[in-house]
Structure 1
Amino acid sequence: MGAVTLDGSQADLDRIADRVLNGATAVETLSPVERQMGWNLLDRSGFTRSAALRSGIGLTVTKLRWERPWSMAFDHGASRLKFIVTRGPGPWLTTSDGERHHLEGGSFHVSQIRRPVRLQFDFDERGVDRDHEQLSLEIDRLRLSELLGTQVLPVAVERVLSSPRAYPTDAQPVVPALFQLIDEIVHCDARGPSRQLYLEAKGLELLAVMVDRLEEGERAASPVLSAHDMDRLERARQIVLARMDDPPRLPDLARLAGLNEAKLKAGFRTLFGDTVYGYLRDRRLDEAHRLLRQRRYSVSEVAARVGYVNPSKFAAAFRERFGVPPSHVT
Structure 2
Amino acid sequence: MGPATLDGSEADLDRFAARVLNGATVVEALSPAERQMGWNIMDRSGFTRSATLRSGIGLTVTKLRWERPWSMAFDHGASPLKFVVTRGPGPRLTTSEGDRHRLDGGSFHVSQIRRPVRLQFDFDDCGVDRDHEQLSLEIDRARLGELLGTQVLPAAVERVLSSPRAYPSDAQPVVPALFQLIDEIAHCDARGPSRQLYLEAKGLELLAVMVDRLEELERAAASALSAHDVDRLERARQIVLARMDDPPSLPDLARQAGLNEAKLKAGFRTLFGDTVYGYLRHRRLDEAHRLLRQRRYSVSEVAARVGYINPSKFAAAFRERFGVPPSQVT
* Cα gap change, 1:302 to 1:19, in 2 (>3 Å): closer
SS in 2 for 1:94: strand
The residue identity in structure 2 corresponding to 1:142 is A
Q: Tell me the TM-score normalized by structure 1.
A: 0.81
- 1:183 paired residue number: 183
Alignment partner, residue 39 of structure 2: 39
Q: Which string of whole-angstrom CA distances, capped at 9 and with x for unpartnered residues, describes residues 157-205 of structure 1? A: 2222111224323533210000000000111111111111111111110
SS of aligned partner of 1:125: coil
Structure-to-structure mapping, 1:1-330, within 5 angstroms? 2-126=2-126, 129-222=129-222, 223-225=224-226, 234=235, 238=239, 244-245=245-246, 248=249, 259-266=260-267, 276-277=276-277, 278=279, 282=283, 299-304=299-304, 306-308=306-308, 309=310, 310-312=313-315
Report if aligned partners of 1:80, 1:140 keep a CA contact under 8 Å in 2: yes
Q: Distance in 1 between matches of 2:317 and 2:187?
A: 44
Tell me the alpha carbon deviations over residues 267-304 of structure 1, each in whole angstroms, 9 at most, x when there is no partner: 5875x9996343575479769989xx9x8x86514523
Residue 207 of structure 1: SS of its match in structure 2?
A: helix
Q: Which moved more, 1:54-63 or 1:164-173?
A: 164-173
Deviation at 1:132, TM superposition (A): 0.3
Code of the aligned partner of 2:267: A
- Displacement of 1:155 in angstroms is 2.7
8 Å Cα contact 1:145/1:151 also seen in 2? yes
Tell whether the 8 Å contact from 1:63 to 1:134 is kept in structure 2 after alignment.
yes
Is the contact made by 1:155 and 1:273 (CA closer than 8 Å) also made in structure 2?
no
Q: Which amino acid aligns with 1:83?
A: F
Number of aligned residues = 320
Over residues 192-249 of structure 1, what are the superposed CA-to-partner deviations in whole Å (9 max), with x where a residue is unaligned?
Answer: 111111111111100000011111121223244465885687578658866843653x
Structure 2 CA distance for aligned equivalents of residues 30 and 288 of structure 1: 34
**Aligned partners of 1:61 and 1:134 also within 8 Å:** yes
Q: Secondary structure at the match of 1:26?
A: strand
Are the equivalent residues in 2 in contact too, given 1:92–1:101 (CA < 8 A)? yes
Farther off after superposition, 222-231 or 20-29: 222-231
Deviates more, 1:223-232 or 1:258-267: 223-232
Q: For residues 55 and 228 of structure 1, do their structure 2 counterparts lie closer, same or farther at Cα, with a shift above 3 Å needed?
A: closer
- Deviation, structure 1 residue 263: 4.4
1:151 CA displacement: 2.2
1:36: Cα distance to partner? 0.3
Matches of 2:230 and 2:209 in 1, distance apart? 31
Which aligned segments of 4 or more residues in structure 1 are displaced greater than 6 angstroms?
272-275, 283-290, 314-320, 324-328
Identity among equivalent pairs (%): 70
RMSD: 3.8
Q: Distance in 2 between matches of 1:311 and 1:53?
A: 35
Check whether the contact 1:251–1:261 (CA below 8 A) recurs between aligned residues. Answer: no
Deviations 1:119-166 (A, max 9, x none): 000010135532100000000000001001112323332222111224
Q: CA deviation at 1:258?
A: 5.1
Q: Which consecutive residues of structure 2, in runs of 5 or more, have no partner in the other structure? A: none
**Counterpart Cα distance in 1 of 2:8 and 2:233:** 43
Shift of 1:21: 2.4
- Is the CA contact (8 Å cut-off) linking 1:155 and 1:274 kept in structure 2? no
**Aligned mates of 2:194, 2:288 — CA distance in 1:** 43
- Residue 30 of structure 1 and its aligned partner are, at CA, apart by 0.4
Q: Is the contact between residue 245 and residue 307 of structure 1 (CA under 8 Å) also seen in structure 2?
A: yes
Check the 8 A contact 1:268/1:274 in 2, yes or no. Answer: yes
CA distance in 1, matches of 2:168, 2:119: 13
- Contact preservation (8 Å) 1:17, 1:23: yes
CA, structure 1 residues 14+235, in 2 after alignment: closer, same or farther (shift >3 Å)? closer
